[in-house]
Amino acid sequence: MSRDVPVRCDGGNDSESRDEERANGPTNFLLNGNARPRWLNDILIIGKATVVVYGVFIGLGLAAGLDMNGIVSTLQQVTLLAASFALVVLALNLHWGYTGLFNIGVAGFMAVGAYTMALVTAAPDATFPGLGLPLWVGVLAGLVASALVGFLVALPALRLRADYFAIVTLAAAEVIRLVFNSSALHEFSVLGVELGTGGGQGMSFPNLRNTVSRELLYVGGDPTAGPTLFGRPFMAVGDRLELSPSVVEGWVYTVVLVALVAFAFVVITRIGNSPFGRMLKAIREDELVARSLGKNTDRVKIKVFMLGCVFMGLAGIVWQGRRGYIDPNLFLPIITFYIFIALIIGGSGSNTGSVVGAFLFAGLLFEGPPFVQRIVDATFDLPHPPTVYDGAVALGDLDPMPLLGYAVGELPNLRFVLFGAVLIALMIYRPDGILGHRNEPASPIDLTKERAPREREHAVADGGEEDE
């Protein structure tokens, strides 16, 4: 586990936090009256990350000369992506951060949720027919199906050591994706009911985003009718900023997603602080000890794996399933690695870190480079040589512009190099991520003060949190 490796960082903070600790003294760590409550602190940290990402995009948007509608729309897309990532990252944090289950099959469980919903809600007379049931039935079915598939994968996987477990979960996710991709499920019938996933073509079903946002925004879900009580403030802000209805609808859906993230955050934090959560952390720290204390760790692991899979299925539904169209390519293994990078940026083991990591990853690393590319394309007139060779030849003639133009054109691909480099740098220099040092210990009371003085300093020095 990454936590085993003590890495010193943030040298600048060291002396400061050491002073702070001296002032607090070793005895009053539980009675620190001046400290903000932890949840408020968490909200402040998430708020800071949001401000940073929004600031960058507003700045870039102004530089690109976008109007208010464009900027608000960009912010909406970034927030939507960040909230979607946050939902999955929180679920993965439950698996890996809390329990130490190295699950790299996240995309597969998302696919199960999304496809089940699609099959349940798609109209019976569509090209690839479904059951035609209402959306909420579809969502519930998706969650149940993710839990069941999670159970099936957990059974063989939990008996294996960490790296085998990783490969088995990845293989299971690929099996799921390849099955949905297969022409065998293109159209099939179960008990006389015609169903179809469309194989590689993907399948259509009622648009989740539009349905949800219109249902909330307008009376009876009808865009020509007046706004509901919930929709009124949105419409008012929209009118004031002269936003198009689609942007307002997008924001409504985004707010729903953010609410889901808040819900998941509260649920997972509460689980983490419960006796069940302590068992999870005990398994993470040393499964043998937990077993020796008479805990049925197999059952606990299966339960937590299923629970995490439910959240992953939910994320698959509300994120990849929101457009009313899915195909197997939305669930490639690379999605899992996005989630992992976000979790590692934030620091595994910390729910706040998960949300912050999701925000920073989605905003700065994922959406950032293509946005920069669009701005550069719009502002400067760079040549676009077809291959890097032409750029290199021009560089030989002391003209760096073609090579630069080629690189800018390749920015959407180069960002994957950036992802890799960030991942490597984090693993080498900061395996705990931004907030990973806050991962909660398995014991109900804070044991950090009982450690050797050297380690104790390290634990505080990482972030200088008063409530550590």
Partner 1 sequence: MRVIGGRGGLSNVTMEQWFGVLILSGLGVLVLDLVRRVVFGDLTVDTLSVFVWRGFVDGLIIALAAVGLSMTYAILKFANFSQGDLVTTGAFAGWTAAYVVAGIGVADFGSTILLNADRGTSARELGMHLFGAPVAIFVGLIVAALATILVALAFDRLVYRRMRTAGGIPLLIASIGVALVLRYLVVFFYGEHTRGVTRSSPTVDHALVFWTDSLHVHQATLIVVGIGLMVALHVLLQYTKLGTSMRAMADNRDLALITGIPTERVILLTWILGAGLTGVAGYLIVLEQETLSFNTGWFLLLLIFSAVILGGIGSIYGAIAGGLIIGLATNVSLVWIPGDLTEVAAFTLMILILIFRPSGLFGGVETA
Q: How far is the CB of 424 from partner 1 (least distance, A)?
A: 4
Q: What backbone torsions phi and psi does residue 325 show, to the nearest 5 degrees?
A: -150, 130
- In angstroms, give the least distance from the CB of 420 to partner 1: 3
Q: d(Cα 8, Cα 407) in Å, to the nearest integer?
A: 35
Q: CA 356 to CA 127: how far, in whole Å?
A: 41
| Radius of gyration of the chain, Cα coordinates, nearest whole angstrom | 24
As measured in angstroms, the least distance from the Cβ of 341 to partner 1 is 8
* Complex with partner 1: residue 1 or 262, whichever CB lies closer: 1
Smallest distance, Å, CB 89 to partner 1? 15
Which of 450, 436, 440 lies closest to 98, judged by CA?
A: 440
Binding residues for partner 1, rule: CB under 8 A, are 1-2, 4-5, 102, 156-164, 166-168, 170-172, 174-175, 178-179, 181-184, 199, 287-288, 291, 337, 340, 344, 386-390, 393, 407, 410, 413-414, 416-417, 419-424, 427-428, 431
CB-nearer residue toward partner 1: 5 or 40: 5
Q: Which is nearer to partner 1, 21 or 432 (CB)?
A: 432
Amino acid symbol at 128: F
Nearest alpha-carbon partner for 130 in 184, 195, 222: 195
Looking at the Cβ atoms of 105 and 129, the one nearer to partner 1 is 105
Q: Minimum distance from CB of 293 to partner 1 (Å)?
A: 11
Closer to partner 1 by Cβ: residue 377 or 410: 410
CB 353, min distance to partner 1, A: 16
Q: Residues 6 or more apart from 417 whose CB is under 8 A from it?
A: none
Distance in angstroms (rounded) separating the CA atoms of residues 280 and 188? 41
**Closer of 298 and 377 to partner 1 (Cβ):** 298
Q: What is the DSSP letter of 225?
A: S
Task: Compute how many other C-beta atoms are within 10 angstroms of the C-beta atom of residue 313.
Answer: 32
**Which residue(s) pair with 203 in the sheet?**
326
| Beta bridge partner(s), residue 195 | 188
Q: Which is nearer to partner 1, 253 or 419 (CB)?
A: 419
Query: Strand 203-204 vs strand 193-195: parallel, antiparallel, or unpaired?
Result: unpaired
* Contact assessment for residue 376 and residue 382, using Cβ atoms and an 8 Å cutoff: yes
CA dihedral for 133, 134, 140, 145, sign (positive or negative):
positive
Burial class (CB within 10 angstroms; exposed 0-12, middle 13-18, buried 19+) of 452: exposed
**Comparison of 172 and 203: residue with beta carbon closer to partner 1:** 172
Q: How far from chain centre, in Å, is Cα 232?
A: 30
Q: How far is the CB of 43 from partner 1 (least distance, A)?
A: 29
Q: How far is the CB of 62 from partner 1 (least distance, A)?
A: 30
Distance, in Å, from the CA atom of 15 to the CA atom of 21, rounded to the nearest integer, reads 10
Q: How far is the CB of 462 from partner 1 (least distance, A)?
A: 17
> Residue 148 Cβ, how far from partner 1 at the closest point, in Å?
17
The one-letter code for the residue type at 213 is S
CB nearer to partner 1: give 285 or 287: 287
DSSP SS3 for 28: coil
Q: CA-to-CA distance for 162 and 63, rounded, in angstroms?
A: 47
The smaller minimum CB distance to partner 1, of residues 157 and 435, is found at 157
Give the pair of three-digit tokens for residue 45.
């940290």
Closer residue to partner 1 (CB): 58 or 423: 423
Residues 357, 339: Cα–Cα separation, whole Å? 9
Tokens at residue 32, please?
């620190």
